[in-house]
Structure 1
């Protein structure tokens, strides 16, 4: 009986350590932005001043959040002038350039995150985790962003931290 209790406690500790990271996306722009997120299959309308919160499971790699602009949707389908993802409201694949990207990998002892303008720039963005450096990108010349795939601008923070993405910081 004691051995099964130890196994249960170890399993419970493992599950507790594999928690999700919470992302809070805020629209500080003067107009509506349609944020999208992959691979979590997300997207929605976010009016000026609005926020959207979602969880990303531990073990998620190559995640992205971006803002879409100039969108028109009828139900779950439509199109966007920037960042469009095959006309879907809730994106399951990455958007079309130009788009400013918040990129992340969640899980393990450390998460990693960065801002990328490799696929172009469409919106100013701030991106931070609860235990790391805050990145701010207000234009396409952003010194806090990847401009080429070999730029050394990836940052780390404690595993499964909480994140803030702000459009038009």
Structure 2
């Protein structure tokens, strides 16, 4: 009995510690500082790739930071997407940033990915499974910065209305909120992205658990 339980626990451990790889590529004509929680951060020049290994059964996100400057200890500041002034991110970024969010093998042996503009926009992004046999790619490929309403314009990006106005109808703090003219603006540019905290309209991309993915900035 004890021996059988030991084999069961070992099998359970390995079943829940499989690593999923996100290949994060910078296709932008400028430097970005990729960020991932979990995962940390990495400077990426044009056409460089960073591989992020994430444990199974994890919730997280990946985004690009721009306009960054870090010292030799990894401390500094980014114009967009900054994460507590650290090169190796430990927490989610500050608005604005375009996020790829994921839930790995949390429900029914499936992964779910989406693009979020809830924290605004800084660079276009695309995420796709590497196998080609599941789900479909998700993306926000339009450079929203070119069209950003003047009320949301900030250096390097297009901020979200909650961060700018601090009002409940944008932040959804009470749990009661709906689309606004600003969320509709973001949706008009990227219809499959989430655009406000209680948004439930976009489709999720789903794949079988164990799939690897590629995330591309400026696809």
TM range (shorter): 0.7 to 0.9
Aligned to 2:201: 152
- Structure 2: gaps (5+ residues): 145-188
Q: Give the CA deviation at 1:13.
A: 4.4
Q: Give the CA deviation at 1:52.
A: 0.1
* 2:140 equivalent to 1:137: yes
**Larger C-alpha radius of gyration, 1 or 2?**
2
Contact 2:39 2:53 (8 Å CA) reproduced:
no
Instruction: Output one character per residue of 1:28-65: Cα deviation in whole Å (capped at 9) or x when no partner.
Output: 11111101011x2410101111000021111212x010
Aligned to 1:126: 126
Alignment partners' CA distance in 1, 2:13 and 2:70: 39
Alignment partners' CA distance in 2, 1:97 and 1:135: 21
Alignment partners' CA distance in 2, 1:16 and 1:92: 25
Contact 2:129 2:213 (8 Å CA) reproduced:
yes
Aligned to 2:35: 36
Instruction: Output one character per residue of 1:96-135: Cα deviation in whole Å (capped at 9) or x when no partner.
Output: 1110000011124111110001111100100122432101
Alignment partners' CA distance in 2, 1:41 and 1:21: 12
Alignment partners' CA distance in 2, 1:54 and 1:99: 19
Q: Give the CA deviation at 1:20.
A: 1.6
Q: Give the CA deviation at 1:142.
A: 1.0
- Structure 1: gaps (5+ residues): none
Question: Which has a greater percent of helix?
Answer: 2
Contact 2:27 2:216 (8 Å CA) reproduced:
yes
Q: Superposition pairs for residues 61-100 of structure 1, below 5 Å?
A: 61=59, 63-75=60-72, 76-100=74-98
Aligned to 1:111: 111
TM-score by length of structure 1 reads: 0.88
Alignment partners' CA distance in 1, 2:58 and 2:71: 30
Instruction: Output one character per residue of 1:69-109: Cα deviation in whole Å (capped at 9) or x when no partner.
Output: 01111121111110011110001111111100000111241
Alignment partners' CA distance in 1, 2:96 and 2:39: 20
Aligned to 2:213: 163
TM-score by length of structure 2 reads: 0.69
Alignment partners' CA distance in 1, 2:205 and 2:14: 24
Alignment partners' CA distance in 2, 1:136 and 1:44: 21
